[in-house]
Amino acid sequence: MAESSSLSAPAPDAGLQIYTSSSPQLQLHDMIFCLAKPLALKAAVLLNIPDIIATHGGGEGSSLSVEDIAFHIAASAPTMNMKLPNLEYLFRLLRYLASYHVFTETSDAGRAVEFKRYRYGLTAVSKLLMVENEYSCVPLVLAATSKIPWEGLQRLHETVMEGCPAMSKAFGMNAWDYFRNDPQENEMFNRAMASDTRAVMASVVRVYDHGFKNINTLVDVAGGTGSDLSMIVKEHPHIHGINLDLPHVIDIAPALPGVEHVSGNMFQHIPPADAVFMKSVLHDWKDEQCVEILKKCHEAIPGNGKVIAVDAIIEEEAGCLQRMGLRSDIEMMVFTDGGKERTEDEFKEIFRLAGFQRYAITKLPFSLPSIIEIFKD
């Protein structure tokens, strides 16, 4: 048998040319095998790796060896019974995530893969995977890899064939009923929504500062556990905030200064207020239901009142944000009964049917959703 040192790299083979960056095979492979990405992120989060590097790495720009990370995993995760992870496997997880710039990677091992000589540090991406970060995406990673999206999306073809949500087929009920019946998934979903909200709302509060000035009472319709409203009220303490959502959501909502939680059904009654706020809500519903919700909003606000909707608007031009909108549209197909992401023209028609006179759109920087003001007069 030949010594390994005598082996040489194979000459470039014409057959391998299919794997150039523009090749359809590579493009397809990227889509087919992307499943490992969110699950590798989940593994890193469950093993607490970003927080371990932040805590024990020695400050900004520093890093930890694979062995150090392994030691702290064993020490920090009681569920692992102080067991050291397999060092080589841990290295392979870190190396994969570093290839997506989730971690920095340095080594003095030259070309050899001597995993003990590799070190990993935080990047702007992994800082978002720290539990302590204000904008932590950990709840999103956990919710996006939970059984609901996986089992629901497996049935996308059935959704397309039958024009009804796979969620009901997979679980025998719609998403809101499912969460009402499963406290753990309810908590996970609401934590993910709240986490998603923080970054978008930071932008809303900054860009739309002037828009909240003349409002004394603001009702957040389907506001989840109240985090959107809490961020608005913090910046505008003169506002009395009312957070309306279903009972099983309000039951787990924390007490928040300036926010009154109200259990209710937005199709039946919306508490009166100077203005309505509504984020990531219209995309959950069919056009007719959006018109119904907006008619209730119309009743709840005075003649000079407005609805401030924060929602994605599907545009013609392609691009990263556009693709996020289209992905969200697929999720709406699977998880809601007729919800969808809409174009401006589709929104316009819904606003008209609900009795509103005009609207204005403000785009948010680096965000999928826009602010849509919908005026009664």
Ligand X SMILES: C[S@@+](CC[C@H](N)C(=O)[O-])C[C@H]1O[C@@H](n2cnc3c(N)ncnc32)[C@H](O)[C@@H]1O
Residues lying near ligand X in the complex (CB under 6 A): 176, 193, 197, 222-224, 228, 244-246, 249, 265-267, 279-281, 284
Which residues, at least 6 apart from 244, have a Cβ–Cβ distance to it below 8 Å?
219, 220, 221, 222, 223, 262, 263, 264, 266, 270, 271
Residue 123 or 243 having the CB closest to ligand X: 243
Q: How far is the CB of 315 from ligand X (least distance, A)?
A: 21
Question: Measured between alpha carbons, how far is 130 from 121 in angstroms, rounded to an integer?
Answer: 13
Which residues, at least 6 apart from 320, have a Cβ–Cβ distance to it below 8 Å?
none
Strands 63-65 and 118-122, sheet pairing = antiparallel
Active site includes 283?
Answer: yes
Q: Which of 72, 236, 261, 283 is labelled catalytic?
A: 283
Q: How far is the CB of 69 from ligand X (least distance, A)?
A: 33
What are the tokens at 10? 């194979």
Residue 80 or 144 having the CB closest to ligand X: 144
Q: How far is the CB of 54 from ligand X (least distance, A)?
A: 26
Q: How far is the CB of 232 from ligand X (least distance, A)?
A: 12
Residue 46 or 188 having the CB closest to ligand X: 188
What are the tokens at 269? 């009654």
CB 50 within 8 A of CB 98: no
The DSSP string of 131-177 is: TTSTT--HHHHHHHTSHHHHHHHTTHHHHHHHTS-HHHHHHSS-HHH
**Span between the terminal Cα atoms of the chain, in Å:** 85
Q: How far is the CB of 81 from ligand X (least distance, A)?
A: 37
Residue 245 or 341 having the CB closest to ligand X: 245
Q: How far is the CB of 210 from ligand X (least distance, A)?
A: 22
Question: Measured between alpha carbons, how far is 15 from 89 in angstroms, rounded to an integer?
Answer: 31
Residue 121 or 226 having the CB closest to ligand X: 226
The DSSP string of 271-333 is: ---SEEEEES-GGGS-HHHHHHHHHHHHHHS-TT-EEEEEEEEE-SS-SHHHHHHHHHHHHHH
DSSP summary character for residue 352: H
CB 355 within 8 A of CB 291: no
Report the alpha-carbon angle 357-361-363, nearest 5: 170
Determine the residue with CB nearest ligand X: 222
Residue 244 or 297 having the CB closest to ligand X: 244
Catalytic site residues?
Answer: 283
